[in-house]
Amino acid sequence: MNKINRIGFQFSLISMLIAIVFTQLNAIDGQNTTEKDPVDWPNIHSNVFTDFNKNITSPQIDKEAIHPFAIVIGNCYIGKMVFVAPTAVCRADEGTPIQIGDFSNVQDGVVLHGLETTQGGKFVDNRRFNIEGDRILANNSEYREGFSVFIGDRTSLAHNSMVHGPAWIGNDTFVGMKSFDF
């Protein structure tokens, strides 16, 4: 592992530990976010019906993952012990679905979004990835299970970075501040 990757991995671990400590401190103070289901928050809701996405889908979120000032729309899956910071946006309305793996963190100002994965009710070639990171053709049976944006486990998306699908970011990855990944 080269020095830059090692530093990025160490930063991801530190970020993950901070998120865990933050969650535990809130639980000790009696402010655990599980007291209110985040799906009931006004910043977390299904996508709207459009000509490019007629499937109305609500996010799937671990209850301790989302800050009240983060925004999550549509077909987003956010794993366990993920920290989604204030002003971060996961918008799965055009490019769907978006997955953020377990123990990852999405810092302030991060935007996750993707190009349309369907047009005229038909799948669009190469707009989704499988879990291994291979692009999928529209006629492939894997397409329905693919991802417009895939963020692996233990991955850190630093402040103001943008991930615009189709995009695949693997496990144990650090995406630097103000980076653009597509």
**Catalytic residue numbers?**
94, 116
SS3 14: helix
SS3 43: coil
Cα radius of gyration rounded to whole Å, the chain: 16
Dihedral pair phi/psi, residue 53, rounded to 5°: -150, 100
Give residues with Cβ within 8 angstroms of 116, minimum separation 6.
52, 53, 94, 95, 124, 127
CA torsion sign for 148, 178, 44, 31 is positive
Give residues with Cβ within 8 angstroms of 35, minimum separation 6.
none
Tokens of 47: 């996508």
